[in-house]
Amino acid sequence: MILNKILFYISKMSGGFHVFKWLARHHPRILMYHRVFPDASGRAIHPDEFLKQMKQIKQQFNVISLKALISQYKQNKSIPENTIVVTFDDGYLDFYDHVYPIMRELELPVTFFVTAGFVEQRLWFWPDQLRYLLDYSQEKTISTPMGGLEVKAQNTWEVIADHCLTLTQLKREEFFSDLQTQLKVILPDEVPDEYQLVSWEQLKEMSSSIVDIECHSMSHILMSQVSGDALIQEVSDSKSLIEAHLQQPVKGFCYPNGLPDDFNDETVNALQAAEYDYGITAYPSARPLEDIWGITRYPIGTNFYEFEKVIYGIRYQTLS
């Protein structure tokens, strides 16, 4: 790993990045973010680090909105050279507190996919509930269907979260009830500050500027787990709810979790019936716009080294 980083920075200093950038000039890098706030645990990007990232793409790339990229591609199949698009998922309050001021200052467009049913509700995402239970437990081990797990082990959250993705909502609630008992932690009635979501007033304020507000479902359930009326609620009712509050059309849908098995043909048919223009996923590919109902993105984390590999097209070479 250290050798790879040394070679990486030698390439950067010697001008090798310009070659990668040129090779990837027709490949739009659509970036996917979730959290930006000061966080000692490393689960979120620090605002200073995010500002550094945004300044770099502003100086060296063509940063446009997702809406503009899709519109141009639909019209003539063309993609502006060295395009970067910035997107955020879920609807956390830290977008309003930290991301919005930075994007407004730099005059950079950003697309914000919000979970409509959670806005201004006393609800929080189950992955955050899981984080809370593990963080505040004093227990050393727990028994799960995946075997015994160390509560504070680095991979415990990932192992349990992966299992939860296979469960229906009812089964997941039963599983969480058992977790609370084993971990001897009770979820609070009020959502903790760290996991607060934006309000409709805040969304309305941002949508009048450089932020495009789009839909991330009603309840953040996997689309492959719902059908019929439940699917209509997740796709159509969520769209109507956002439009009613913001008084502007919603045209984009972001699949919760966003992996290939998390949506299907029935999901896409529902999006088309609800008059969406596109669906977007959470994994990268060499041709991100090839399927307008499965647009792909690069997840961006806290590692600046990995961020540069994405924006300069080095990751693209591994996908081609």
Mark 171-190 as b/e (b = at least 16 C-beta within 10 Å): ebeebbeebeeebebebeee
pLDDT of residue 73: 93
Q: Enter the pTM of the model.
A: 0.93
pLDDT of residue 3: 46
Residue 187 Cα to chain centre, angstroms = 24
Query: Model confidence over 24-36: pLDDT tens digits?
Result: 999 999 999 999 9
Query: For the chain, what are the domain ranges?
Result: 17-122+199-319, 126-183
Q: Which two tokens stand for residue 35?
A: 């959290």
Query: Model confidence over 79-88: pLDDT tens digits?
Result: 899 999 999 9
pLDDT < 70 regions, the chain: 1-16, 40, 320
Tell me how long the chain is.
320
Torsion of CA 241, 246, 251, 255, to 10 degrees: -50
pLDDT of residue 120: 86
Topology classification of domain 17-122+199-319: TIM Barrel (3.20.20)
CB distance 210 to 103 below 8 Å: yes
Residue 231 Cα to chain centre, angstroms = 21
**Which amino acid is located at 297 in the chain?**
R
pLDDT of residue 36: 97
**3-state SS, one letter per residue, for 106-155:** HCCCEEEEECHHHCCCCCCCHHHHHHHHHHHCCCCEEEECCEEEECCCCC
pLDDT of residue 13: 55
**Which amino acid is located at 98 in the chain?**
H
Pick from 192, 95, 218: nearest CA to 136: 192
CB distance 28 to 69 below 8 Å: yes
CB distance 144 to 160 below 8 Å: yes
Query: Model confidence over 202-242: pLDDT tens digits?
Result: 999 999 879 999 999 999 999 999 999 999 999 999 999 99
